Structure formats: structure tokens, C-alpha cells
Amino acid sequence: MDDSPASSPPETTQERLEDFAPGQLRNLYRSMLLSRLIEEKMLVLLRQGRLSKWFSGIGQEAIATGVVAALDPSDFVLPMHRNLGVFTGRDIDLPRLFRQLLGREGGFTKGRDRSFHFGHLQKGIVGMVSHLGAMLPVACGLALAAQLRGKDRVAAVFTGDGATSEGDFHEALNLAAVWKLPVLFLIENNQYGLSTPIREQHACRDLADRGVAYGMPGVIVDGNDILAVHRAVARAADRARRGAGPLLLEFKTFRTRGHEEPSGTDYVPRELLEEWKTRDPLRRFEAFLRGREVLSHGDVEKTRSDSKARIDALVDEALAAPEPRSGVDADVLAPSLLTPRAPDAERVQAAPERRYVDAISDGLRTVMRRDERVVLLGQDIAEYGGVFKVTAGLVEEFGKARVRNTPIIESGAIGAAMGLALGGYVPMVEMQFGDFVTCGFNQIVNNLAKTHWRWGERIPVVIRLPVGGGVGAGPFHSQNVESWFTSVAGLKVLAPATPYDAKGLLISAFEDGNPVLFLEHKLLYRSARGRVPDGDYALPIGQARVAREGRDATIVT
């Protein structure tokens, strides 16, 4: 594959089988068939009123199946809601998967929804959220985690054609290209975003052409040809492992059913629908293999019969499982890993006096010296030291791998931090001003805050937010943003008032194991002073500091 950033013509099978052993071809067929038969069973359940929704990927199975078959088992995959083949191709526990799809206890989200809003890190799968495009920056963080560890793992992230208009798509492509991350951006171009045809969504002819704008190759692939998909992904992954950076692949395909089943396909011209049905990837591959005597009629019928019987049994077993229990439970936040370590009074009394800003800097330096998993992300935080100079001097001590300037991508930076956290790191994102967090709001409230509740993974991400007025900065640099987040389940919000609390609570934020928003009032940076002990200490989160005891009134602030 040419490493130069330019689009290439579609990959096709072109009658070539020399790359594939007969057993491998049969396994690809069985994997794609399993995905199709599960979908067909779900449509039966939908008609029977035993399932309330389904997002069909019929007609697109060659992409998910071919992608996971071409990748190493250790590579990360971030699928969307039409990528059932990713889960079956990674050998997910099928009884548990069916409980998930049918909304029963024992599913990956404990029956809280009937979707693919879950992940399985042991299988390298990171699940989606409904807000399209949001997982693209997460793939950058996962790839960065692998890169920092010297591992040759690739992150392959799916998106539909419609979501390529989202800001997260562009932020993620730019970040991956700038940092030369091993990310494969996979566009399933199925010609429609719900009911809106692609010609009304994009002015460009091919979405792969967008790669060149970000300094990466764009490749067009026949998404209904599983061998073409496999070849293109295998070559792209090999390129990424060699350190050549990300790549954009556009799979041309078609969605032969509605966006979800009740929406139907009346908006699609009949002749277009019929034309694409003749390119059905499963029937096409089956005919191809039978024509070359890799499969016989008996093989096909036995595989289909055995798979249908297995699926029927799994559905019956799942439907017999208990309905999920409702109500708020302990899964909203992960159990805290923090062990509070408040210094004794003598140590505090003997401590040097520090400004609020210096206490925060000292806290960052303390956690970075102690824990090599801590990585800082933000605009101008490296050599420049940040707008308020909180991170000044850190890049000289810890290097640019751990103190990383990002492009101006609030949402992309927060999404990448989530990927780093899932990859085993403890990242911090500095918002240049707390007001700018609005540009990353979705990543915080729908990705960071809900991941543990959805599928049980810890998300140890710290976001530092300079907030507040009093410095003549105007309406977009002076807001107090805590009220936007304190009502969001799954977040912890800290706003220390003294230098002593600022250092101790910042250290605690890194240790807690949950997403923490750390609000720093700008007026305090260089006006508030107090005794701050050297070295390590950590204060309890959620426990008030009693400033003075009295008898007549209680004042809480």
C-alpha cells in the first residue's frame, strides 16, 4: 500500500484466492452466515412482539466479519449498532450476548437496554454510545495507550457515512494524523443517514477523499466483498503497525432494511433497493465458494440448519431469564480506590506557604512522579506551561510523551482521555478555560459518566477547569460551570477553596478511579495562600472541612 495520502480505487476480489486457505474461506462464510441468521431470528421476534426494536445490518455483514477476521485478536475494535459480526467474530459468549440483545439479566448491561451499548475489553471491544461520532476520539486514546506501551496494537473504529459530518470525526482524524496513531477509521457508507441520501449530506464524491486533508491515505473498498474487506484491512493494519500512522477506509455498501425496523424503506427508490439486493454479500460469497468447490450444497444446508437450531435454543434460554430489576444501584460510580492520607497537624504547621496555583502544580508533579500511568493532555500545556502556568516545568521533567499539547479539540481530547483510561492509563485533560468545556459536554455526560453504569469499566479521567470571574475576562472566560454537571450521575465534581485542599483533593482525584471534574477558581490562583505540605497526601472526597466549630448557627458553603 502506498503510504502517500491519496485515495485509491475500490478493492475487489478479482477472482484471487491465493491469499486464503480453504478452511479460512469456510470460516469467513460461517461467521457471516451466523450474523445473518441471528438478525433474521430477531426480525421474527420483532414481528411476534417479543422484541421492541432492532437496527438491522443485513446487507452489510461482510464489513464487520471481514474486519475482525483481518485484525489480530489483541487489536481494539469500536463497533456501531449494525456490527453484530464484530461481537460474534470475536467469540463473545453467545448466551450472554442473547440476554443482552433481549434485555434480560445476565446481559452485558444487566438488561438495562437491548443494544450494543457495551464493551468487552478482554475481547478488545469498546462499545458505542448513541451520539454518533463520539467513539472516534476514544479510538485515538486506545491507540495512544498501545503506542506509549510499545505495543503494536491497532484501534479500528467504525462510523457510518452520516456521522462523518460530526465534529468528533474531524477532531479524531486530525489528532490521529498529528500523533501518527495506529488507528483505522472505517466508514460504512450505506448510502443513507436514516432517510437522507448521501448526496444531500456531502458535497464530495467519495468520503475517502477526506483522508488527504488530514495527511492520511483514503482507500475505497467494495464493502459487499468480504475478501476485498479482509485484504484492505489487513494491509492497513500492517501499515499502522509499522508506524506509518492512521488510514481512512470507505466501505461502499447498502442498508437493505430501515434505519430501524419500524422506519421501513419507503424513502428508497425500488430500483435502487433491488439493484443492491443482487449484490447481497452472503449470497455473493456463497455462490463464489460453491463455484470454486470450496463449499458444497450439503455444506451450506448443514451449516445453516445447525446454526439455526443453536440460535433458536439460545433465544429460548435468554427469554426464560429474569427481567431486569429497576431502580438506582451502586453501578453508577465504580467503588473508589482512594485511601485518604491527611497529614498530621505538625506536618501542616511546618509546611511552607504556597499559592493556590503552586499547590495544584505540586499535586500534578507528585502524582506524575509516583505513577507513570498519569498522562496530561491539553492546549499549550507543554513548553508554554498552560495559560495559567499550572503545568510549567512538567514537560522538562516528564517529557512530551506524558505532557502532550493537543490541537484545539475539547471533545477530541476528552474522548482520547477516555480511550487512554480504558487502555490502562490515568489521564488528565486541562481545559484552557472552564467555559470551553461546553465543546466537550457530550463526551463528559454521555461517555465518561455512563460507561461504568453501562458495562462496568472504570474511567479514571481527571478534567481540570479554570472557572469563575473577578479577573475582567468577560462572559466566555468567567463562568462557574459546576451546575451543568452536579446533576449528572457518574461524575464527581470538586471545587477546592484553599491551597491545602487543592493539592490534597487533586491527588485524590487521580486515585479515585472515576471521572472527576476539578474546578479551580482563577481568582484564587495567585491570591489564596496557605500551608501546603511537601510530598504526598490525599484528602477524602465528599467530606466537608470544618473551618470552625460553633454553637448557634451552621453555615455551609
Residues identified as active-site: 477
Q: Nearest-CA neighbor of 236 among 355, 437, 450, 75?
A: 75
CA atoms within 13 A on the CB side of 81: 19
Q: Nearest-CA neighbor of 476 among 443, 439, 430, 441?
A: 439
Q: CA angle, 127 as apex, 49 and 367 as ends, to 5°?
A: 145
* Cβ neighbours, 10 Å, residue 532: 26
Structural contact between residues 109 and 122, judged by C-beta atoms closer than 8 angstroms: no
Q: Which 8-state DSSP code applies to residue 447? A: I
Q: Is 304 exposed, middle or buried (0-12, 13-18, 19+ CB in 10 A)?
A: middle
Nearby residues of 129 by Cβ (< 8 Å), 6 or more positions away: 117, 135, 446, 447, 450
Q: Nearest-CA neighbor of 10 among 278, 206, 164?
A: 206
In sequence order, what are the beta bridge partners of 520?
A: 466
**For residues 458 and 112, what is the distance between their CA atoms, to the nearest angstrom?**
18
C-alpha 457: how far from its chain's center? 12
- Dmax over CA atoms of the chain, in Å, equals 91
* Cβ neighbours, 10 Å, residue 214: 20
The string of DSSP codes covering 45-57 is HHHTTS-S-----
* Cβ neighbours, 10 Å, residue 551: 4
Structural contact between residues 458 and 421, judged by C-beta atoms closer than 8 angstroms: yes
What is the sign of the dihedral through the CA atoms of 307, 308, 314 and 315? positive
Q: What is the dihedral of CA 373, 378, 380, 384, to 10 degrees?
A: -40
**For residues 445 and 242, what is the distance between their CA atoms, to the nearest angstrom?**
36
Cell of 290: 460453491
Structural contact between residues 444 and 485, judged by C-beta atoms closer than 8 angstroms: yes
Q: Nearest-CA neighbor of 520 among 316, 285, 277, 357?
A: 357
**For residues 23 and 14, what is the distance between their CA atoms, to the nearest angstrom?**
20
Cell of 150: 510499545
The string of DSSP codes covering 143-208 is HHHHHHTT----EEEEEESGGGGSHHHHHHHHHHHHHT--EEEEEEE-SEETTEEGGGT-SSS-GG
Q: Which 8-state DSSP code applies to residue 353? A: E
Identity at 423, one-letter amino acid code: G
